[in-house]
Amino acid sequence: MFFYLIRRILYAIPIALAVGFVCFMLVQIAPGDPINAIVPADAPGDVVEQVRRDYGLDKPLPVQFGIWLMKVVQGDLGRSLATGRSVWSDLSSAISNTLLLATVASLLGFVLGCILGGLAGTFRGSFIDRAATSIAVAGVSVPHYWLGMVLVVIFSVQLNWLPAMGAGPGGSADWAWDWEHMKHLILPAVTLAVIPMGIVTRTVRGLVAEIMNQEFVTALRGKGLTRGGIFVHVVKNAAPNALAVMGLQLGYLMGGSILVETVFSWPGTGLLLNNAIFQRDLPVLQGTILVLAMFFVALNLLVDLVQTALDPRIKRA
C-alpha cells in the first residue's frame, strides 16, 4: 500500500508538467495578447513593447515557460499580470471559497442522490422510481447557469428572500457560519448540486437494483432479516462505487463551476479562471489550472484509498 501511494504521488509530477505546458501553449496559440492585461488598447506601440520587455513577455516561449517552471518548483506561482498581486494569495482565497461551495453542493447532491437513488432502486418500476429517475434526468439535463438565473429571479428578485450574488454581506474575507453569510451560499449551492444529485441518483439506483438481485440478499431475506437490516448490507456494498462517483464530482465542481460562480459573482476559482481567460492573465491561468489539476489528482487518490478502506475486496498494490 505504501509503495502504491508513493507511485501515485510520483505520477502527479508528469501530470503537473503536462498540465502546465498544455495550458501555457493553449494561451499562446489562442488569438489575443497577454499584454492587454497591462496596457489599454489605445497604447502606442513603443509603450506596448517597453511593457512587454518589462514583464519578460518578449522572451522566447521556451524561456518564458522555463522561468515559470523554475519559480513553481520553488513554490512561487508568480504575480498576476493584471493586478500585480501574488497568484497564490488570490488563488488561496478563491480555492477556499470554491471548496466551501463545492463541498456543500457535493454533500447536498450526494445526500439527495443517495436518497432518491436508494428509493428508486428499492421500488423499481413504481411511481417512486419514475419520479426519482425523472428528477435525476432533469438534474443532469438542465443547464445549471439557467437554473441559477431562474432561482435568482424567484428567490432574490421576486421574493427578496435570498441574496442574488456575493459570498457574504462583507465579502468572503470575514466568512462566518451564521445566517447572514449562509444565505449567500444557498442559491449557488443548490444550483451546483443538481448535476451531482442526478448522477448519484442514477448510479445509486443502478447499484441498489443490482445488489437487490444478488443471491446474498435473498439469503438475508431467507434468514429473516428485517428490511432495515438488509438495507445496511445494501448500503455497505453500494458505498464504494457511489463514493468514487461523488469524489469525481467534487473534483469537477472544484474546477467546473465557472458559469455558476459567474452568475452568482461567487469569488471562487471559476470566477478567477473566467477573468484570467478574458484578460489573458497567464500567471493566474497557469497557477490556477495547475493547482486544480493537482487537487483532482489528490482527490482521485483519496477516493481510491477510501474505497479500499470500505471494501477489503479491492486491493491496491
Partner 1 sequence: MRLRRFLLTACLAALPALVAATAVQAQGTIRIGMTAADIPLTNGQPDQGFEGNRFTGIPLFDSLTMWDLSSADRPSTVIPGLATEWRVDPNDRTRWIFTLRRGVRFHDGSEFNADAVVWNVRKVLDREAPHFDPRQVGVTATRMPTLRRAEKIDDHTVALFTSEPDSLLPINLTNLFMASPAQWQRFRDANPTAEAAWNAFAREPSGTGPFRMARFVPRERVEYVRNDAYWGDKARAERIVLLPIPEANARTAALLSNQVDWIEAPAPDAIPQLRARGMVITSNAQPHVWPWQPCFVGDSPLRDVRVRQALNLAIDREGLRTLLGGMMAVPVGTVPRGHPWFGNPSFQIRHDKAEARRLLAEAGYGPNRPLTLRVQISASGSGQMQPLPMNEFVQQELRQVGVNVEFDVIEWNALFTNWRNGCQHPSARGAHAINVSFAAMDPFFAMVRFWDSKMAPPVSNNWGHFNDPRFDEMIRVARNSFDAAERDAALARLHAAGVDEALFIWIAHDVAPRAMSPRIRGYVQPQSWFVDLRLPYIQ
Binding site for partner 1 (CB under 8 A): 30-33, 36, 38-51, 54-55, 79, 82-85, 89-90, 93-94, 149, 152-153, 156-157, 160-167, 170-173, 179-180, 262-265, 267, 271-272, 274-275, 278-280
| Rounded Cα–Cα distance for residues 76 and 61 (Å) | 19
d(C-alpha 52, C-alpha 34), whole Å: 9
Q: Which is nearer to partner 1, 168 or 255 (CB)?
A: 168
Cell of 138: 432533469
| CA angle, 10 then 268 then 297, to 5° | 15
Nearer to partner 1 by Cβ, of 93 and 122: the residue is 93
Task: Tell which residue, 240, 246, 245, 237, has the closest CA to residue 215.
Answer: 237
Q: In angstroms, give the least distance from the CB of 231 to partner 1.
A: 25
- Minimum distance of partner 1 from residue 173's CB (angstroms): 5
Whichever of 178 and 215 has its CB closer to partner 1, that residue is: 178
Q: Which is nearer to partner 1, 9 or 25 (CB)?
A: 25
Q: Between 85 and 236, whose beta carbon lies closer to partner 1? A: 85
Q: Which is nearer to partner 1, 143 or 171 (CB)?
A: 171
SS (H, E, C) 194-247: HHHHHHHHHHHHHHHHHHHCCHHHHHHHHCCCCHHHHHHHHHHHHHHHHHHHHH
- Nearest approach in angstroms of CB 15 to partner 1 is 28
| Closer Cβ to partner 1, 264 or 295, answer by number | 264
> In the bound complex, what is the minimum distance in angstroms from residue 293's beta carbon to partner 1?
22
CB of 180 to partner 1, least distance (A): 7
CB 20 to partner 1: min, Å: 22
Residues with Cβ within 8 Å of 229's Cβ and at least 6 positions away in sequence, in order, are 220
Q: How far apart are CA 17 and CA 290, in angstroms?
A: 9
* Phi/psi-derived region of residue 178, left when phi > 0, alpha when psi is between -120 and 50, beta in every other case: beta
C-alpha to C-alpha distances, 8 to 14, 18, 240, 293, nearest whole angstrom? 11, 16, 20, 14
The letter for the amino acid at 200 is V
CA-to-CA distance for 116 and 179, rounded, in angstroms?
28
| Min CB(160)–partner 1 separation in Å | 6
Terminal Cα distance for the chain, rounded = 5
Question: Residue 155 has what DSSP assignment?
Answer: I
Under DSSP, is residue 169 helix (H, G, I), strand (E, B) or coil? strand
Q: Of 103, 150, 135, 90, nearest to 253 (Cα)?
A: 103
CB nearer partner 1, residue 48 or residue 209: 48
Cβ at position 224, least distance to partner 1 in Å: 34
169 beta partners: 171
6/180 with CB nearer partner 1: 180
Least distance in angstroms from the C-beta of 283 to partner 1: 13
